[in-house]
């Protein structure tokens, strides 16, 4: 069997980068599926595109500027109503830093 | 109300404006039909009785007051559930946004409201618009009204099936790699993917920002054209919104195809495995020629790489866009022992398998050591695909292909093999990568009685040519007089 395009170890590394937890079974299946997809994508190797510029924007346009005028932003209560948890007019989040008192 | 539920948006508006029926009566009839058929079709994730009736009552009040009515006054519209609607649940068919209620309207939703349209509800889709069969919805599988065991296509499957089934004359979808065109082809309706920048993306939940466009869907070319006219135009809240006139698509439908040069990709047509699709497209080309169009041979030599290019670029952008779903500011939160575990558990439980797969693929393509080999390379091949079209448009005004290699496949047929599902997108991906406008319109039925879709692609901002050509196809090959076989 040919070398896999992506190993289980790489899958777990990418999952960590993407902040996704995968069970052992899910990681195995993900490895198989990504391997098949990346194998198909090897078809791009038949093209030499080293001299071809990339197209990041299909339709050329300039970044527009607008006058720097303050505007009313969204309603705080309406926006915070969508938060999983809020407190004192802000988002309530899990503890990020342990601080010695 | 004559012709319910198959009357056109134009007929509804005319009757409402003349006062022969009230907008509230029209809306009640469509809401009742949606409630009746939705258990079998699963087109709608939310049916908004209250909002729809309020919008209809407003139209009736304006009419009574003698105000000038908007271009879609009293016309029911179904809206894909990845377009934000203030005060109405917007889920993207994902568990992570199950209870999300946007505090604002998408630009296109504002435009609909301003036109007097009545938004009936929010339609089902593949989770975050990622899929080609609607089977990635976290909530329910949509069924194709032409054959209930067939996929409606995706990702705007709910909008397509609703329109085809007479649950609404018009619908909005979104298209990243074919998501309005492919379901339109499967369900026997018309859909337009506008030029990138033609329609504001403000309030469209982002999937792949360099590709996403909102697109109109309707049973007829003319109605889709009218809807495009309503939602198109500059909006400064989308930095990629083009500063262009919105266009006159409705009038373009009357222009005919005399002198229009239609590009035929011969090797691609000859390579079609499905004889019905091939025969249908050939017949439609004959119809165009008969009405005065000229057929010219063109080539798209790099189109075959579109699947690889698209599934690298779109997933890379998706992996970045979907980073915002972290359980902090909105949507689901699954608490963990620390912040990182809160992120990983929220995302693992909130996202379905296809969304996770695409985030993984995109993260991989962007990660250190692989960026040049995958992401950057895909962007370079994208240039070759774009250049193919530049060359083709030196010889023709529109390029014609099928929308899909086959008519609607069966539900469950491709779910076990993601790559197989991706490969079926081969015809809709190239114009998306090049930012070009494209339309899918029915060219007939297969021997099995399933709709076949024809795709036309034009140069940037040349949507009017698409409307003229598609109207000619509809006039001779369309399905307007046919009703989906699986409907009660």
B242 and B365 belong to one structural domain: no
**Surface of A (16-45) touching B: CB under 8 A:** 17-22, 30, 33-34, 36-38, 40-41, 43-44
pLDDT at residue A101 greater than cutoff 70: no
Confidence of residue A94 (pLDDT cuts 50, 70, 90): confident
Query: CA distances (Å), B424 to each of B131, B161, B419, in order?
Result: 11, 19, 9
**pLDDT for the residue B273:** 95
Mean pLDDT of B309-327: 97
**CA separation for the pair B296, B428 (Å, rounded):** 21
Instruction: Tell me if B420 is assigned to some domain.
Output: no
Q: Do A54 and B376 touch (CB under 8 A)?
A: yes
Which whole-number Å values give the CA distances from B360 to A19, B208, B353, B423, B434, in the listed order? 10, 15, 10, 19, 25
Nearest to B471 by CA among B226, B167, B112, B183: B226
How far is the C-alpha of B341 from the C-alpha of B218, rounded, in Å?
45
- Indicate whether B469 belongs to any domain: no
The average confidence (pLDDT) of chain A is: 91
Whether B244 and B360 share a structural domain: no
pLDDT band of residue B484 (cuts 50, 70, 90) is very high
Band of residue A1 on the pLDDT scale cut at 50, 70, 90: low
- The token pair that represents A61 in the structure block: 């346009």
Domain C-terminal end among B326, B353, B381: B381
Contacts of B357 (CB under 8 A, 6+ apart): A30, A33, A34, B418
- Are residues B198 and B323 both part of a single domain? no
Q: What is the mean pLDDT of residues B241-256?
A: 93
Q: How far is the C-alpha of A69 from the C-alpha of A55, rounded, in Å?
A: 33
For residues B131 and B203, membership in a common domain is answered with: yes
Tokens 């919805």 belong to which residue? B137
Chain B residues touching A44 at Cβ < 8 A: 305, 308-309, 377-378, 381
Check whether residue B233 and residue B318 sit in a common domain.
no
**pLDDT bracket for residue B485 (50, 70, 90):** confident
Distance from CA of A79 to the nearest CA of B (A): 6
CA neighbor of B146 nearest in space, from B460, B406, B482:
B482
pTM score of the predicted model: 0.97
Residues 6+ apart with CB under 8 A from B90: B81, B82, B83, B84, B97, B100, B101, B102, B122, B205
Between CA B217 and CA B470 the distance in angstroms is 13
Is the same domain home to B226 and B367?
no
Element (H, E) at B184: helix B181-187
Nearest CA in chain B to A33: B418
Residue tagged 């924007």 (tokens) = A57
- Spell out which residues of chain A touch residue B240, defining contact as CB-CB under 8 Å: 57, 59, 61
**Using one digit for the tens of pLDDT, what is the confidence trace for B28-63?**
999 999 999 999 999 999 999 999 999 999 999 999
Mean pLDDT of B209-231: 98
**d(Cα B85, Cα B88) in Å, to the nearest integer?**
5
Name the one residue in this structure whose structure tokens are 């194709």. B144
Set of chain A residues whose Cβ sits within 8 Å of the Cβ of B435? 57-59
Q: Do B361 and A37 touch (CB under 8 A)?
A: yes
Q: List A residues 70-99 in contact with B (Cβ-Cβ < 8 A).
A: 74-75, 78-79, 81-85, 91, 93-96
d(CA B477, CA B402): 14
Q: Using CA of residue B419, residue B185, residue B111, residue B120, what is the dihedral sign?
A: negative
CATH at residue B147:
3.90.1300.10
* Residues forming beta bridges with residue A87, ordered by sequence position: A90
- Any B CB within 8 A of A52 CB: yes
In a domain, B31, yes or no: yes
The predicted structure's pLDDT at residue B129: 98
* Angle at B39 (CA atoms; ends B219, B118), nearest 5 degrees: 45
For chains A and B, what is the number of CB pairs under 8 angstroms?
160
- Which chain B residue is nearest to residue A74, measuring alpha carbons? B103
For Cα atoms B284, B287, B288, give the angle at the middle one, nearest 5 degrees.
90
- Looking up tokens 């729809």 gives B52
Regarding whether B44 and B106 lie in a shared domain, the answer is yes
CA dihedral B289, B294, B295, B297 (to 10 degrees): 180
Which residues of B are less than 8 Å from A63 in CB distance?
239
Contacts of B345 in chain A (CB under 8 A): 21
Q: Is B77 helix (H, G, I), strand (E, B) or coil?
A: strand
- In this prediction, residue B246 has a pLDDT band, given cuts at 50, 70 and 90, of confident
Q: Is residue B279 part of a domain?
A: no
Alpha-helical regions (H) of B44-156: 49-64, 107-114
> For residue A43, what are its two tokens?
């078809």
User: Which of A21, A40, A57 has its CB closest to that of B348?
Assistant: A21
Look at residue B455 and tell me if it is in a domain: no
- Residue B79 belongs to domain spanning: 9-255
The reply to whether B17 falls in a domain is yes
C-alpha–C-alpha distance, residues B62 and A23, integer Å: 58
pLDDT number for residue B119: 98
Which neighbouring-strand residues pair with B400? B264, B456
pLDDT confidence of B343, banded at 50, 70, 90? very high
pLDDT of residue A3: 84
Mean pLDDT of B392-409: 98
Let me know if residue B442 belongs to a domain.
no
> Which position has the higher pLDDT, B228 or B338?
B228
The Cα diameter of chain A in Å comes to 63
- Distance (Å) from the C-alpha of residue B307 to the closest C-alpha of chain A? 8
Q: How far is A100 from chain B (nearest CA, A)?
A: 17
Domain count across chain B: 2
Q: Which residues of B are catalytic?
A: 80, 155, 179
Of residues B479 and A65, which shows the higher confidence score? B479
The residue from B366, B381, B396 where one domain ends is: B381
Whether B234 and B361 map to the same domain: the answer is: no
Q: Residue A22 pLDDT more than 70?
A: yes
Q: Is residue B22 located within the same domain as residue B126?
A: yes
The residue among B255, B274, B290 that closes a domain is B255
What is the Cα–Cα distance from B398 to B259, expressed in whole angstroms?
A: 12
- pLDDT band for position B453 (cuts 50, 70, 90): very high
Give the pLDDT score at A93. Answer: 86
**B260 assigned to some structural domain:** no
Q: Which residues of A touch B340 (CB under 8 A)?
A: 19
In the structure, what pLDDT confidence band is assigned to residue B437 with cuts at 50, 70 and 90? very high
Residue B256: other Cβ atoms inside 10 A: 16
Of B195, B335, B367, the CB nearest to A14: B367
- pLDDT band, very low/low/confident/very high, at B83 (cuts 50, 70, 90): very high
Distance between A59 CA and the closest CA of chain B, angstroms: 6
Q: Are B74 and B23 in contact (CB under 8 A)?
A: yes
**Average pLDDT over all residues of chain B:** 97
Query: Model ipTM?
Result: 0.94
Nearest Cα residue in chain B from A79: B103
Residue B24 sits in the same domain as residue B146: yes
A15 Cβ under 8 Å from any chain B Cβ? yes
Same domain (yes/no): B312, B196: no
Same domain, B170 and B54: yes
């Amino acid at each position: 069997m040919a070398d896999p395009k992506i190993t289980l170890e790489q899958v777990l590394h990418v999952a960590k980068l993407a902040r996704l937890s995968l069970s052992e079974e899910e990681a195995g299946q993900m490895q198989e599926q990504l391997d098949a997809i990346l194998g198909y994508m090897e078809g791009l190797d038949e093209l030499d595109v080293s001299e071809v510029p990339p197209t990041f924007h299909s339709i050329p346009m300039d970044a527009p500027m607008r006058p720097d005028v303050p505007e009313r932003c969204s309603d705080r209560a309406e926006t915070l109503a969508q938060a999983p948890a809020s407190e004192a007019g802000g988002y309530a989040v899990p503890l990020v830093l342990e601080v010695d008192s | 109300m004559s012709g319910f539920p198959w009357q056109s948006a134009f007929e509804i508006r005319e009757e409402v404006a003349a006062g022969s029926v009230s907008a509230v009566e029209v809306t009640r009839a469509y809401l009742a039909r949606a409630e009746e058929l939705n258990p079998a079709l699963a087109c709608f994730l939310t049916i908004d009785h209250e909002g729809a009736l309020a919008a209809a009552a407003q139209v009736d009040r304006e009419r009574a007051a003698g105000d000038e009515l908007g271009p879609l006054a009293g016309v029911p519209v179904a809206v894909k559930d990845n377009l934000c609607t203030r005060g109405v649940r917007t889920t993207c068919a994902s568990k992570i946004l199950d209870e999300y209620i946007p505090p604002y309207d998408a630009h296109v939703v504002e435009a609909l409201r301003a036109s007097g349209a009545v938004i009936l509800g929010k339609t089902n889709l593949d989770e975050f618009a990622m899929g080609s069969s609607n089977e990635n919805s976290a909530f329910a599988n949509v069924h194709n009204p032409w054959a209930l065991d067939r996929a409606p296509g995706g990702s705007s499957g709910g909008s397509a099936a609703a329109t085809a089934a007479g649950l609404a004359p018009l619908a909005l979808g979104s298209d990243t790699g074919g998501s309005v065109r492919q379901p339109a082809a499967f369900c026997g309706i018309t859909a337009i993917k506008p030029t990138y920048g033609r329609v504001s993306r403000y309030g469209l939940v982002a999937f792949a920002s360099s590709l996403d466009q909102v697109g109109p869907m309707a049973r007829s070319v003319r109605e889709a054209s009218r809807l495009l006219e309503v939602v198109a135009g500059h909006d400064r809240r989308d930095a990629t919104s083009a500063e262009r006139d919105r266009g006159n698509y409705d009038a373009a439908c009357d222009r005919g195809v005399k002198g229009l040069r239609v590009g035929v990709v011969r090797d691609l047509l000859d390579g079609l495995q499905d004889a019905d699709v091939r025969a249908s497209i050939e017949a439609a080309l004959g119809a165009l020629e008969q009405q005065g169009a000229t057929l010219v041979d063109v080539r798209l030599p790099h189109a075959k790489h579109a699947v690889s290019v698209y599934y690298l670029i779109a997933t890379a952008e998706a992996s970045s866009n979907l980073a915002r779903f972290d359980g902090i500011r909105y949507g689901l939160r699954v608490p963990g022992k620390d912040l990182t575990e809160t992120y990983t558990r929220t995302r693992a439980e909130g996202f379905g398998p296809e969304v996770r797969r695409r985030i993984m693929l995109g993260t991989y393509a962007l990660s250190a050591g692989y960026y040049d080999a995958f992401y950057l390379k895909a962007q370079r091949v994208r240039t070759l695909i774009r250049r193919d079209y530049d060359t083709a448009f030196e010889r023709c005004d529109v390029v014609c292909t099928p929308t899909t290699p086959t008519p609607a496949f069966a539900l469950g047929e491709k779910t076990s093999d993601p790559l197989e599902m991706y490969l079926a997108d081969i015809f809709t991906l190239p114009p998306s990568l090049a930012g070009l406008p494209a339309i899918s319109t029915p060219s007939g039925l297969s021997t099995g009685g399933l709709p076949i879709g024809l795709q036309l692609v034009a140069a940037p901002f040349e949507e009017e040519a698409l409307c003229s050509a598609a109207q000619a196809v509809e006039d001779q090959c369309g399905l307007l007089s046919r009703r989906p076989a699986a409907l009660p």
